Every structure is written in structure tokens, then in C-alpha cells.
């Protein structure tokens, strides 16, 4: 495994919104973890879902992130942390008035950047997926929407 550096001054990998920086994708950590920086404007975010094969952790850097833990929505501010184990139902949104900036840690480091990149391509291209194509898309990325 080689040394990997991702400088803060570098551009986002996905300009969004939301904007996503693949700080340390699983491909650079030998699949041990993936670390992304996510910036989202006020409004809706990820709807309730779960993952079978990986956990997620959220660390808020700025703004306010509202996270669903499977039963309750709670606001998280700068310095707050939330861990979601495999099979844990979760969702997030930005109920604040400014951008929410946070880190997402995936473990193990599956190629989650493919999910975000494909989702961005679908959104920006205006491509319309059939219900069957959406089912396949989410299954490929271990995302079970509820």
C-alpha cells in the first residue's frame, strides 16, 4: 500500500450540491475504511436506509446536521459524532440555515465513492431510471431504502 495525501486546498470530487470530497476512499486504504467530507445546503438529504456490510460514522465539522437513528431525529452540531453499525437504520438532512459540513467514515472501506459518483451522474445528466434500474443501483451499492 502506498502513502496517500488529499490536501484540504484541493477541489471537491463532486461539486454538487451536495459537494463531496473523497478524502480517503477504500481504494487508497486497502479497504480498511473510507473517509469522505460532505457539504450539503439546507434541505432534504438521505432518506431512511440501512447497509448490510458496512458501518457509517458521522462527525460534524460545521453547521447543523439532523440525523435519524431509526426512531428519532436529533440535531448535531460542530464536534458531534454519531456511529451507525451495520444493519442500523439511519438518515440525515440539513434543518439549519447554512451548509452542513461533516465527515462520513465507512468501515470497511467499500468503494462507496462509486455510489456518490453514479448518483451525481444520474442527477446532472437528467437520466431517468426505471424502478428496476433503481432497485439494481441500490442493490449494487448495499443500500436498502426504507
At 2, the pLDDT band (50, 70, 90 cuts) reads low
In terms of Cα–Cα distance, which of 110, 103, 106 is closest to 30? 110
Residue range 106-129: average pLDDT? 93
pLDDT per residue as tens digits for the range 82-107? 999 999 999 999 999 999 999 999 99
Whether residue 124 is contained in a domain is answered as: yes
pTM of the full structure: 0.92
Domain range for 36 is 19-145
The answer to whether position 14 is within a domain reads no
Residue 58 lies in a domain: yes
What is the spatial distance between Cα 76 and Cα 9, in angstroms, rounded to a whole number? Answer: 26
Residue 129 burial (CB < 10 Å; 0-12/13-18/19+)?
exposed
- φ/ψ of 70, rounded to 5, equals 105, -20
Closest CA to 61 of 26, 19, 13: 19
The answer to the question of residue 123 being in a domain is yes
Over residues 117-136, the mean pLDDT reads 95
Q: Work out how many domains the chain is built from and give that number.
A: 1
Residue 10 maps to a domain: no
Half-sphere exposure of 119 (CA within 13 A, CB side): 19
Asked if the model's pLDDT at residue 3 lies above 80, the reply is no
Instruction: State the CATH number of the domain containing residue 106.
Output: 2.60.120.10
Interval 28-55: pLDDT, tens: 899 999 999 999 999 999 999 999 999 9
- Is a pLDDT exceeding 70 seen at residue 1? no
Q: Is residue 114 part of a domain?
A: yes
pLDDT in tens, 15-27: 889 999 999 999 8
Amino acid at each position: 500500500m502506498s502513502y496517500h495525501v488529499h490536501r484540504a486546498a484541493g477541489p471537491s470530487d463532486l461539486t454538487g450540491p451536495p459537494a463531496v470530497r473523497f478524502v480517503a476512499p477504500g481504494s487508497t486504504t486497502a479497504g480498511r475504511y473510507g473517509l469522505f467530507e460532505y457539504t450539503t445546503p439546507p434541505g432534504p438529504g438521505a432518506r431512511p436506509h440501512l447497509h448490510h456490510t458496512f458501518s457509517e460514522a458521522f462527525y460534524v465539522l460545521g453547521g447543523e446536521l439532523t440525523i435519524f437513528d431509526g426512531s428519532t431525529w436529533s440535531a448535531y452540531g460542530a464536534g458531534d459524532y454519531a456511529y451507525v453499525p451495520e444493519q442500523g437504520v439511519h438518515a440525515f438532512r440539513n434543518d439549519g440555515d447554512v451548509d452542513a459540513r461533516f465527515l462520513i467514515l465507512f468501515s470497511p472501506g467499500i468503494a462507496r465513492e462509486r455510489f456518490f459518483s453514479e448518483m451525481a451522474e444520474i442527477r446532472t445528466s437528467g437520466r431517468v431510471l426505471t424502478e428496476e434500474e433503481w432497485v439494481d443501483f441500490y442493490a449494487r451499492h448495499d443500500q436498502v431504502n426504507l
